[in-house]
Amino acid sequence: MKLYCSPFCPYSHQVRVVWFEKGIQADIEYIDPANPPEDVIDLNPYGDTPTLVDRELVLFDPRIIMEFLDERFPHPPLHPMEPVARAQARMLISRIERDWFSLLNEIESSGDKKGAKARKLLRERLIAATPIFASKPFFLSDEFSLVDCALAPLMWRLSKIGVELPKEAQAIQIYANRIFAREGFQRSLSDVELEMGALSETLSA
């Protein structure tokens, strides 16, 4: 098994959180997604990251990779076993991607004016979700799950993209620090992401 990933892409980071939470002993190779090596292009028609190779199997969608790793390495389980709860978790991840990660992508790829608008909207949406973060130790769950793996890279990047949370959003800060303190999350950080650590101090409450 081998994982090709970007050292700064949040979607690669999602997969690495799962990877290290599971304690997977296999190779991770960091690549430049703007200039992928030929072997990645041969494996993945899009040449993007993350790309997972497991014998004859090649996967290159982060959500599919996350679920595959959870099933391939069942302990500790990160997805509910019950079908309704599993579907609800999948919908949460989908909404996080649509409502929050879409704005992260816009902030990172847009100019100042458009980026500022997306930054303001992301901040407002997160603040509106404060009661959700306050309701359980993890995101709508008593246990750490794939939903938290999907959300963690966004939390880590908030300060880098200039999204500062007010005091009334302390529940989000507490949640983020709980995730950041996990050994699996700490091990998931690339050198590039480690440099964001100083910027993420504004999330310490």
- CATH of the structural domain 2-72, one choice from 3.40.30.10, 3.40.50.1000, 3.40.50.300, 3.90.79.10: 3.40.30.10
> Is 95 a residue whose pLDDT tops 60?
yes
Mean pLDDT within 102-108: 94
Residue 83, SS3 per DSSP: helix
Entry pTM: 0.92
Give percent of the chain above pLDDT 70.
Answer: 96
Q: What is the Cα–Cα distance from 128 to 130, expressed in whole angstroms? A: 6
pLDDT per position as a tens digit, 13-24 = 999 999 999 999
Domain ranges of the chain: 2-72, 83-188
- CATH of the structural domain 83-188, one choice from 3.40.50.300, 1.20.1050.10, 1.25.40.10, 3.20.20.70: 1.20.1050.10
pLDDT per position as a tens digit, 42-69 = 999 888 899 999 999 999 999 999 999 9
Predicted pLDDT of residue 111: 73
Give the pLDDT band of residue 112 (cuts 50, 70, 90): confident
Mean pLDDT within 3-10: 95
Mean pLDDT of the chain: 93
The active-site residue out of 3, 4, 8, 9 is 9
Predicted pLDDT of residue 196: 83
Residue 113: CA count within 13 A, CB half-sphere: 0
83 in Cβ contact with 138 (< 8 Å): no
Q: What is the Cα–Cα distance from 97 to 61, expressed in whole angstroms? A: 13
Mean pLDDT within 20-38: 93
**In sequence order, what are the residues at sequence separation of 6 or more whose Cβ sits closer than 8 angstroms to the Cβ of residue 138?**
144, 145, 147, 148, 175, 178
> Is 199 a residue whose pLDDT tops 70?
no
Predicted pLDDT of residue 205: 47
**In sequence order, what are the residues at sequence separation of 6 or more whose Cβ sits closer than 8 angstroms to the Cβ of residue 122?**
100, 103, 104, 107, 161, 163
Reply yes or no on whether 9 is catalytic. yes
